[in-house]
Amino acid sequence: MNKERSPEVYINDERCRNSYSCIRVCPVKAIEVRSDREHPFINPARCIGCGLCYISCTPGAVSFRDSIDDVKRLLDSDIKCAALIAPSISSEFEDITDYRKFVGMIRELGFDYVYEDSFGVDLVAHQYAELFSQSRGKYHITANCPAIVKMIEKHYPSLVPNLAPIISPMVATARVVRQIHNNNIATVFIGPCIDAKDEALLYDDGETVNSVLTFIELREMFNRAGIQERKVQMSEFDPPFGNWGALYPLPAGILKAAGIRRDIATSQIITASGKEDVVKALNDFDKHIDTIKHHFNLFFCNGCMMGPGMVSHKNYYKMRALVRNYALKRVSTLDKKRWEQDIEKWSSIDFSRQFTPDDQNIPDPPEEAVREVLKIIDKEDNNEEVNCGVCGYLSCRDFAVTVAKGLAVPEMCQTFNIRNKQQYIETLRHTNKKLAETKKALKESEELALKEKELAQNASEMMNSMLEKLPSGVIIADNNLKVVHSNNSFIDIIGEEARAVAEVIPGLAGADLKTLLPYPAYNMFSYVIKENEAVINRDITFEDKMLNISVFPIRQNKIAGAVIRDLFSPEVQGEEIINRIGEAIEKNLEMVQQIGFLLGEGASETERMLNSIIDSYSGAKDSKKKRKEEDGDDR
């Protein structure tokens, strides 16, 4: 009976770097890459729990279901607990010098009993020997490897009838142990396989295995508990003991346990292990079994000594030697007679098993969709197909089919990425070139703007200097009648209050014109700004002064300026008299000339009189200036 469970293998998005290494090694393409997801996703319905993605993921983004807490709860409970140890300990724990020390460490964790799973291998092996001898033309595939069973049920459902209807060694050992203890015991399988976690959940608790630990998890439990070989006493496994089942970590080890000779000419069994060979074996069994006429002994890993639940997956032949040496040692000390009695005794347990097809194959997409994908990855022409396999698929077409199914994205194609990268680099080169040109133009523009700013600043300073030297008052205001600038002569005309303000705010910048000038004056500003038309030489009374104001537009509807003169000041009086008399002469000259025709020389005399007044005043002014200079020299 299946129980609800979390995914056996999953991807941690926070660690994932989208290297797609997991996708490349997945034999059944259970890892999907979709445009609506940031990272790959393992589809548990298609996954077979082989663990290749876990092994291949360098960033450690792939994880498997942790069973440590479940096992600790069992150990802390009142029920007795038994550990079922896979014979792969010989290749995983080579750092532990004696297997009896290893058994002692297991007991130190809190396990009451420690059993060898190799005895379960021996029992199952005898069942296979009998099955193969009575096959009568029907060829079987061994069902010891849970990843192989899942692979057939989900992706080769037509081969389900060919799966040997025999339980795995793990289940066989658990059933023996439960009968020994009248089912009053909890069992925990400890081995190299991740997928054994799901296999244990196929059965009700109390019937087989309560939980499964990988060797990786076992080491973690040792570390947490501070258990070390030097701190524990030696201990032996609990009986029954295994025989050649200790060779089970080797792909053909179960055949040795079954007493089946591996003779090329006479053997009826073909052994295949590892992803590539297993896929080939299943394809050939499906299509050509009538020609092959052999049973298939399949293990997804290269033997259980290379399982994904182990710390190391290197040094295959070294591990092989470790397994062989351990098996020889165990067999050499085995009481064969007692072992035979145990085999006969426990051969009565139920070894039967059933399998359920769970077809997860996705129908092939329309040819048009496949061609469209091939076009996208520039493989539309058969001559362009590289079939490099870097994407994890056998051919460019297989990859295109998967993309069309919605399980992959074009970016997984290396040649597609390289081509896009080259195009990107070329685009980037052109962009950088344009950027350099723009940067150069911007620098030149900045330099020009700086020069113009310096010129404007110099011009402004020059203008301000010139304004300050003018005897007439100058004021510039905006359309809100706020002072933009004024010179000292204007401030002197306004009086003491303006000078006090100017000490704090130079040029009275921001001051309200209405508070400085009488209504007629600032009204002229409003008119000039609004109408963009100058008002020239208007006289107005301000306090005890007579001011002459000329207002002119500077920026249409925005800014206006004014020149203001105090007509009562000595410097302005003489100049103003001369200017106004000159204007009178110019305006009346034509009239005087016309009158002259009537009065004769009277007009000329009048002109001479007016000119003499002007000359006289100008001469008096020059004499006064000369006397001041002489007085200055005397002093």
Residue 7: give its domain's CATH number: 3.30.70.20
Domain stops at, among 32, 65, 98:
65
| H/E stretch holding 541 | strand 535-542
Residues 336 and 284 in one domain: yes
Instruction: Give the integer Cα–Cα distance in Å for 194 and 345.
Output: 31
Phi, psi of 455 (to 5 degrees): -65, -45
Tell me: the pLDDT tens digits for 40-62? 999 999 999 999 999 999 999 99
pLDDT-derived band of residue 422, with 50, 70 and 90 as boundaries? Answer: low
| Residues 31 and 23: beta-carbon distance below 8 Å | yes
The residue segments making up the domain with residue 419 are 366-468
Instruction: Give the integer Cα–Cα distance in Å for 302 and 147.
Output: 13
Instruction: Give the integer Cα–Cα distance in Å for 487 and 453.
Output: 23
Residues 30 and 93 in one domain: no
- Does 610 map to a domain? yes
| Structure tokens that stand for 77 in this block | 């409970």
How confident is the model at residue 397, as a pLDDT? 81
Residues 455 and 477 in one domain: no
Residues 424 and 437 in one domain: yes
Residues 48 and 186 in one domain: no
User: Other CB atoms closer than 10 Å to residue 56's CB: what's the count?
Assistant: 17
Sole residue written with tokens 């002072």: 483
Contacts 24+ apart (CB under 8 A), 538-545: 539/567, 542/493, 542/517, 542/518, 543/495, 544/568, 545/493
Does residue 93 surpass a pLDDT of 80? yes
Residues 416 and 546 in one domain: no
Neighbouring residues of 55: CB distance < 8 A, sequence distance ≥ 6: 25, 308, 313
| H/E stretch holding 32 | strand 31-32
Does residue 283 surpass a pLDDT of 80? yes
Residues 59 and 175 in one domain: no
Of 114, 252, 118, the C-alpha closest to 173 is 118
| 623 vs 144: which has the higher pLDDT | 144
Residues 102 and 199 in one domain: yes
Sheet strands (E) in 374-487: 473-478, 483-486
- Does 575 map to a domain? no
Domain stops at, among 16, 38, 65:
65
Does residue 625 surpass a pLDDT of 80? no
How confident is the model at residue 599, as a pLDDT? 45
Q: Are strands 113-116 and 295-299 parallel, antiparallel or unpaired?
A: unpaired
Tell me: the pLDDT tens digits for 348-357? 999 999 999 9
Tell me: the pLDDT tens digits for 478-523? 989 898 888 888 888 888 877 888 777 887 888 888 888 888 888 8
Q: Which of 348-357, 437-446, 451-460 bottoms out in mean pLDDT, i.e. has the lowest?
A: 451-460
Residues 420 and 493 in one domain: no
| 268 vs 498: which has the higher pLDDT | 268
How confident is the model at residue 454, as a pLDDT? 76
Domain stops at, among 468, 500, 526:
468
How confident is the model at residue 580, as a pLDDT? 58
Neighbouring residues of 480: CB distance < 8 A, sequence distance ≥ 6: none
pLDDT-derived band of residue 455, with 50, 70 and 90 as boundaries? Answer: confident
| 389 vs 7: which has the higher pLDDT | 7
483-486: strand order across its sheet:
483-486, 473-478, 559-566, 545-555, 535-542
- Does 89 map to a domain? yes
Phi, psi of 537 (to 5 degrees): 50, 65
Residues 61 and 73 in one domain: no
Tell me: the pLDDT tens digits for 242-267? 999 999 999 999 999 999 988 777 78
Tell me: the pLDDT tens digits for 329-366? 999 999 999 999 999 999 999 999 999 999 999 888 88
Helix (H, G, I), strand (E, B) or coil at 210: coil
Residues 564 and 480 in one domain: yes
pLDDT-derived band of residue 586, with 50, 70 and 90 as boundaries? Answer: low
How confident is the model at residue 581, as a pLDDT? 52
- Does 42 map to a domain? yes
CATH number, domain of 499, equals 3.30.450.20
Q: Which of 194-208, 288-302, 311-325, 408-422 bottoms out in mean pLDDT, i.e. has the lowest?
A: 408-422
- Does 228 map to a domain? yes
Structural domain count of the chain = 5
How confident is the model at residue 373, as a pLDDT? 84
| Structure tokens that stand for 164 in this block | 């040997």
| Residues 104 and 235: beta-carbon distance below 8 Å | yes
Helix (H, G, I), strand (E, B) or coil at 114: strand
Instruction: Give the integer Cα–Cα distance in Å for 461 and 438.
Output: 33
Q: Strand pairing partners for 269? A: 295
Instruction: Give the integer Cα–Cα distance in Å for 296 and 141.
Output: 5
Of 322, 95, 82, 109, the C-alpha closest to 230 is 95
pLDDT-derived band of residue 191, with 50, 70 and 90 as boundaries? Answer: very high
Does residue 109 surpass a pLDDT of 90? yes
Query: What is the value of pTM for the model shown?
Result: 0.66
- Does 573 map to a domain? no
Count of CA atoms in the C-beta half-sphere (13 A) of 558: 3
| H/E stretch holding 622 | helix 602-634
- Does 500 map to a domain? yes
Residues 374 and 512 in one domain: no
- Does 356 map to a domain? no
